[in-house]
Amino acid sequence: MAFTLLMSFLVALPSFGIDMSLPAITETAAALGVAPAQAGLTMSLFMLGFAVAPLFYGPASDRYGRKPVVVFACTLFIIAGLGCALARSLLALLMWRVVQGAGAGAGMTIALAIIRDLFEGQAARTKLSYVAIATMMVPMIAPTAGAALLALGGWRLIHTVLAGVGLLLLLAMLLGFDESARIDPANRLVPSIIARNYLRVLMHPLCLGYILVNAAAFGALFAYVSGSSLFLINGVGLRPLQYGLVFAATSLGIMTGAFLNSQLSAQGVSPFYPLTAGLVLAAVSTTLLLAMTLAGWMPLSLVISLLVLGNLAFGLIAPNAMQGAMQPLPQIAGAAGAATGFIQMAIGAVVSGLVVALYDGHSALSMTAFMALCSLLALVSYLLLARPAERVVVLP
């Protein structure tokens, strides 16, 4: 339990950095004398640092170990949080947010590598499922916590508390975690070896297949996250509180899927069954949503039910796809985790940007179209790439 909570804390660090800051964008803009859209860049630049930094953390953790990398990243996150709290201009705040995102970027990459170091097969899938369950609690509570801090002490207090969150994680890693990596001194941290390791990951048919399955499923999730507020608030007319309840229900859907997967894994059920069920459920539910959108028939209760089912499917897909991507190359698990996380975030960023850019002002078409497209791509990637590779690849 302690290990699961520690890994969940590590993976959830980016969510703290993003979700706790969301309520403060308008006040931050007013305090610094800029437009809210300019203050919104704090989210974009945080995501930039968060997406790029793992490409360095992964290989570094293969060479020097997981613990030193997490300690470095947490220290970066703490310093950046204090820098954001003390920033006197938008430029300074944006620079510190990039650094803050880079500090948060170790989360998913190193957690995946640590779990791969210590567990295999069904044990790894079970751990990933429990981590997913615990991690989903953060998006449900962080915005509310951020709003409370905003009312209590303003936007600077939010970043001070974020620095405190980073400090708690740093202490937990220093006092409660022993190194898990099997370090190979021959794995030098030079550009040619880093490039070779990433090429090994992307050329491995099983790794690549599952990386694409995971990234496409994540794209469907990001299409929902970026498009749901546009449709449900602007199109349907839900109040923010009502939308928050819907978002909480879909988050519970992910947690339910991950919990179901953990129970099946603990009972020795092959990952083929929950993964296939999740992929089919995602494809069916999102295709139905797209068909309903095109037909102009969108009863709210049915739409919400299908959104919950689509998110439940993600809870079944993600732990199995991530474990499948990490399994084949344990000696460079850091590079495999970094590639998985970077491609996942890149697809998510592209999809969410397209959903917002193509939103027509009233319908759910951009959201449901990309949800369906990504869900079908995930299913096709599994059937045509990952599943055939499983039959021919011999794992070490």
Are domains 1-189 and 196-396 of this chain identical in fold?
Answer: yes
Question: In whole numbers, what is the pLDDT of the chain averaged over residues?
Answer: 88
Domain ranges of the chain: 1-189, 196-396
Cα–Cα distance measured from residue 249 to residue 251, given in angstroms and rounded to the nearest whole number: 5
- Tokens coding 125: 């899938």
Nearest to 102 by CA among 77, 84, 81, 78: 77
Cα–Cα distance measured from residue 373 to residue 104, given in angstroms and rounded to the nearest whole number: 30
Phi, psi torsion values for 230, nearest 5 degrees: -60, -45
Q: Rounded mean pLDDT of 17-29?
A: 82
Q: Rounded mean pLDDT of 164-181?
A: 91
The end-to-end CA distance of the chain, in Å, is: 28
What radius of gyration do the chain's Cα atoms show? 20
The whole-number pLDDT of residue 36 equals 74
Which region among 48-62, 178-192, 299-313 has the lowest average model confidence (pLDDT)? 178-192
pLDDT over 60 (residue 183): yes
Q: What is the pLDDT of residues 281-296, one digit of tens each?
A: 999 999 999 999 999 9
Domain 196-396 sits in CATH at 1.20.1250.20
pLDDT over 80 (residue 231): yes
Do residues 178 and 32 touch, judged by C-beta distance below 8 A?
no
The whole-number pLDDT of residue 395 equals 47
Q: How confident is the model at residue 396 (pLDDT cuts 50, 70, 90)?
A: very low
Cα–Cα distance measured from residue 367 to residue 380, given in angstroms and rounded to the nearest whole number: 20
Q: Give residues with Cβ within 8 angstroms of 281, minimum separation 6.
A: 309, 310, 312, 313, 316
pLDDT over 60 (residue 394): no
CATH class, range 1-189: mainly alpha
- Tokens coding 196: 């070779």
**pTM for the model:** 0.82
> By CB neighbour count within 10 A (0-12 exposed, 13-18 middle, 19+ buried), where does 155 fall?
buried
The whole-number pLDDT of residue 122 equals 79
Q: Rounded mean pLDDT of 1-29?
A: 84
pLDDT higher at 56 or 241? 56
Q: How confident is the model at residue 377 (pLDDT cuts 50, 70, 90)?
A: very high
pLDDT over 80 (residue 43): no
Q: Give residues with Cβ within 8 angstroms of 339, minimum separation 6.
A: 58, 198, 201, 202, 207, 211, 325
The whole-number pLDDT of residue 186 equals 66
Q: How confident is the model at residue 240 (pLDDT cuts 50, 70, 90)?
A: low
Which region among 30-44, 57-71, 192-206, 247-261 has the lowest average model confidence (pLDDT)? 30-44
pLDDT over 60 (residue 364): yes
